[in-house]
Structure 1
Amino acid sequence: MEPELILINENLALPAAELQFRFTTGGGPGGQHVNKTATRVTLLFDVAASPSLDEETRARLLDRLAGRLDRRGVLQISAQESRSQWQNREAAVARLQALLAAALVEQPERRPTRPSRRARQERLDDKRRRSTLKQARQRRWDD
């Protein structure tokens, strides 16, 4: 039996064995059920040590997800929307897929542009108008 794969994009699929799940009791409303069942899911994915990632992909993920990673390079995603542990687990995996796919999209290189001649002229005209308006408000001491 082949291991289950989590598809991220057309170039990357992660084995489900690389994902760790932690289950805790969820917060918020729910009465007695929420106090006794571990339905909150925390998904852990070790970006820094994943054998499925090549060096270029790993570097891009570490750079783009730096704000969401802990010191060891582990990404944590929590889900607690549902009362079902299974549904929360599926939601956490879906969030992981979306987050990694968005981080792996290549940003187009920015080409510097210049303002047009008309835009420069309008900016200067506006500055002149503002200047004359402010000068008209000033009191004249030579009167």
Structure 2
Amino acid sequence: MNANKAELQKEVIYKTSRSGGKGGQNVNKVSTKVELLFSVDESSLFNDDEKILINSRLQSRFNKDGMIQVVCDEERSQYLNKEKALEKLVALLTKALQIEKPRKATKVSRAVKAARAENKRQQSAKKESRKRNFDY
């Protein structure tokens, strides 16, 4: 990904609101919950192929306006929540842009097959020796 946090922060919109949880009176007075909004289509940080890839892989993260939405209310300070939300967005985008290597199909080697057969033979002999032989 060719976008770092500083460049990404220029294209991000923050919304703040009061959040629940720990903080006592602070929760009732200060807007610490951060909602980060990022528009992939309007971003100048990604080329068209990267935008298509992000749109397809992060479909569930888009809101009704077509923007990626990240919410953070873990910390007691608005600044820390903004930082965490931005880190989450960077992680989402880098994961969405990673191209997985195709898996190469391999065959089980002859030595592995022989070892498995030998193990089965030993196990069979062990169980055979435990059987009681009855003469009727």
Q: 1:58 corresponds to which letter in structure 2?
A: K
TM-score normalised per structure 1: 0.67
Structure 1 or 2: more helix by fraction: 2
> Is the counterpart of residue 96 in structure 1 residue 89 in structure 2?
yes
Aligned equivalent of 1:106: 99
Equivalent in 27, 43, 47 of residue 34 of structure 1: 27
Equivalent in 106, 111, 122 of residue 118 of structure 1: 111
Residues 11 and 94 of structure 1: is their aligned pair in 2 closer, same or farther, counting only changes over 3 Å?
closer
Aligned length: 132
Q: 1:121 corresponds to which letter in structure 2?
A: A
TM-score normalised per structure 2: 0.70
Compare relative contact order (CA 8 Å, sep 6+) and give the higher one, 1 or 2: 2
Aligned equivalent of 1:50: 42
Q: 1:31 corresponds to which letter in structure 2?
A: G
Distance 1:135 1:22 in 2: 73
Aligned equivalent of 1:16: 10
* Post-superposition offset of 1:32: 1.1
Distance 1:134 1:76 in 2: 61
* Post-superposition offset of 1:62: 2.4
Residues 129 and 35 of structure 1: is their aligned pair in 2 closer, same or farther, counting only changes over 3 Å?
farther
Task: State the Cα deviation string for residues 10-66 of structure 1 (Å, max 9, x = none).
Answer: 36754623x22221212212111112221010111233x334232210122123334
For the aligned residue pairs, the C-alpha RMSD in angstroms reads 3.2
> Is the counterpart of residue 70 in structure 1 residue 79 in structure 2?
no
Structure 1 or 2: more strand by fraction: 1
Larger Rg: 2
Equivalent in 55, 78, 89 of residue 85 of structure 1: 78
